[in-house]
Amino acid sequence: MLHSTTPNKKKGYFLLSSFIWLFVWHLASIVIGKDILLVSPLVVLKTLFLLIKEVAFWTTISFSFTRIVGGFFLALLVGVSLAVLSSQFIFIRFLLNPLTAVISSTPIVSFIILALIWIPTRNLSLFIAFLMVLPIIYTNTLQGILNTDQKLLEMAEVFRIPLYRKIIYIYLPQVMPFFVSACSVGLGLCWKSGIAAEVIGLPTHSIGERLYEAKIYLSTSELFAWTFVIILISILFEKLFIYFLKKISERILAK
């Protein structure tokens, strides 16, 4: 049976479980005894501190960050626009259905290899992040719009509520949960797919390139350190983005 827990208790459980897993990881690395197979978390932390001091570390992060997040924002813009169009014109919905189904079910690597032929490697992660996030934003936003309470829309029609008020007070509150969950899933996916694209395309000064180098030189500690950095940036950006998204929508509704 699940019991309700206070936020402090939850934080405590989170920290405790994190320490337990870190300890298990540390123990496993001691048992294996070979850094090349499994490096200890302490060594990863040490490597991370060394990396942070390098200027290249920050330029690498900014290179990947701008492209992957750029791809995400582009997907937001296009996905929402297409969802609005699809909600109004059923033909567009039918037209886009096979496209989103194909994008969603095709392996990411197939797209990456194909995109390598089309576009320069510098912008490969931007394109792949865009392509992977687009169907998620599109389908969820469309779902939200189509699930908007028809009775409220009828009320708006009868009272001749202007479009901008309809969007703010009727559509926004109903679409927002779908949109937030799509952004949350999309943000995780854009980092995974974007980094995968960089590892294959190897654009210079990218995180993907550094991961590839770590693999070539069998530097497991660097591989883990960069992976940790990716996870950290991904989680931090997701939390920040969702926080601001909710704040903005609250502010709009309060107007």
Partner 1 sequence: MTITLKEICKTYDKEPVLDHLSLSISKGQTTCLMGSSGCGKTTLANLLLGLLKPDKGSITGLDTSQIAAVFQEDRLCENLNSIKNIAIVCPKSVSKKQILTHLLEVGLTETDSMKPVSELSGGMKRRVALVRALITSNQMIILDEPFKGLDTTTKGQVIAYIKKYTQGKTLLIITHDKEDVALLDAQLIEL
Chain contacts with partner 1 (rule: CB under 8 A): 151-152, 154-155, 157-161, 165, 169-170, 173, 253
CB of 110 to partner 1, least distance (A): 43
Please identify, using beta-carbon distances, which residue of 120 and 177 lies nearer to partner 1. 177
Task: Report d(CA 142, CA 214) in Å as an integer.
Answer: 42
CB of 139 to partner 1, least distance (A): 24
- Half-sphere CA count of 47, side-chain side, radius 13 A: 19
CB of 97 to partner 1, least distance (A): 28
Alpha helix (H) residue ranges in 89-121: 90-105, 108-118
Percentages of the chain per state (helix, strand, coil), in multiples of 5: 85, 0, 15
Please identify, using beta-carbon distances, which residue of 108 and 180 lies nearer to partner 1. 180
Please identify, using beta-carbon distances, which residue of 46 and 166 lies nearer to partner 1. 166
Please identify, using beta-carbon distances, which residue of 160 and 251 lies nearer to partner 1. 160
Written as one string, the DSSP assignment of 6-44 is -HHHHHHHHHHHHHHHHHHHHHHHHHH--TTTS--HHHH
CB of 42 to partner 1, least distance (A): 49
Report the sign of the C-alpha dihedral through residues 205, 207, 209, 215, in that order: positive
CB of 4 to partner 1, least distance (A): 22
Specify the residue for token string 């990456």.
112
Please identify, using beta-carbon distances, which residue of 117 and 254 lies nearer to partner 1. 254
